Amino acid sequence: MTKTYEGIFENGYVVFKEAPEIPKNSKVKVIFEEKDIKKPAEKRKLGTMKGNFKISDDFDEPLKELKDYM
């Protein structure tokens, strides 16, 4: 039977997140996983979409459809 427990390797010892419930002198396998290293996000270049959209001159005016509610 195989059971999996998580922990951290510090100063030559494995420190478990929870106490394993296993018999003494049990055979174990240890797998070391590397920490995920996140790359910093690339900064966005401003103005790349300039000229691709046209906003009408009356964009901020009240909508005709909502006239009865105002």
**pLDDT single digits (tens) 17-57:** 888 888 888 888 888 888 777 888 888 899 999 999 899 99
State how many domains the chain has.
1
In a domain, 39, yes or no: no
Which residues constitute the domain of residue 20?
1-33
CA pseudo-torsion sign 42, 45, 51, 57 = positive
Q: What pTM did the predictor assign? A: 0.41
In a domain, 63, yes or no: no
In a domain, 54, yes or no: no
68: helix, strand or coil:
helix
